[in-house]
Amino acid sequence: MSDLLSSLTTELRRGTLTLAVLSQLQTPQYGYSLVQLLEKSGIVIDQSTLYPLLRRLEKQKLVTSSWDTTESRPRKYYVLSDFGTELFLQLKQEWEKTSLELQQLLEGEKKNELD
């Protein structure tokens, strides 16, 4: 039973992952700083998922990357492209709409239970 729950939870979260990552890339971030930012907000993301995801976003031209070699070790920074920003805002709207709808749906269910 808990296996099923965890697999459903993972599935539920998977779709939101891209949105979470995009939201944090409005300012340039490198891999590990992004992990820390997300973890601070309580979003757990498998690191073996995150790094490949960043590359995929770059391939889809949503983010651009650049190597910063000025510090002690070279780091690859990712930041939203113009296209990425545009898409992020649209996706954000979609999410807000969906979560509002779902909230109403779930609250309606609660009311029914009280009746």
Instruction: Catalog residues that contact another protein under the rule CB under 8 A.
Output: 30-33, 46-49, 51-52, 55-56, 67, 73-76
| Residue 78 or 88 having the CB closest to another protein | 78
89 is written with which tokens? 């805002």
User: Helical H runs in 25-81?
Assistant: 31-40, 47-59
Between 41 and 48, CB nearer to another protein? 48
* Shortest distance (Å) from residue 110 CB to another protein: 34
- Residue among 19, 8, 10 at smallest CA distance from 94: 19
Between β-strands 63-68 and 75-80, what pairing exists: parallel, antiparallel or unpaired?
A: antiparallel
Our CB check for another protein shows the closer of 32 and 83 to be: 32
Q: How far is the CB of 60 from another protein (least distance, A)?
A: 11
Angle (deg, nearest 10), helices 31-40 and 47-59: 120
Nearer to another protein, 7 or 103 (CB): 7
> How far apart, in whole angstroms, are the C-alpha atoms of residue 31 and residue 45?
12
Least distance between another protein and beta carbon 71 (Å): 10
CB of 47 to another protein, least distance (A): 5
